[in-house]
Chain A
Amino acid sequence: AQSVTQPDIHITVSEGASLELRCNYSYGATPYLFWYVQSPGQGLQLLLKYFSGDTLVQGIKGFEAEFKRSQSSFNLRKPSVHWSDAAEYFCAVRGGGNKLTFGTGTQLKVEL
Chain B
Amino acid sequence: SAVISQKPSRDICQRGTSLTIQCQVDSQVTMMFWYRQQPGQSLTLIATANQGSEATYESGFVIDKFPISRPNLTFSTLTVSNMSPEDSSIYLCSVLRDRVYPEAFFGQGTRLTVV
Contact = CB atoms under 8 A, between A and B. Distances in A.
Nearest to B47: A99
Interface of B: 4, 6, 31, 33, 41-45, 48, 56, 92, 94, 96, 99, 101-109, 111
- Which of A36, A41, A43, A104 gathers most chain B CB within 10 Å? A43
A46 interface: yes
**Interface of A: prevailing SS:** strand
Contacts of A51: 101
**Interface of B: prevailing SS:** strand
B42 A103 contact: yes
Interface of A: 32, 34, 36, 41-46, 49, 51, 90, 92, 94, 97-105
A62 to B, nearest CB: 19
B43 A102 contact: yes
Contacts of A49: 103
A45 B48 CA distance: 20
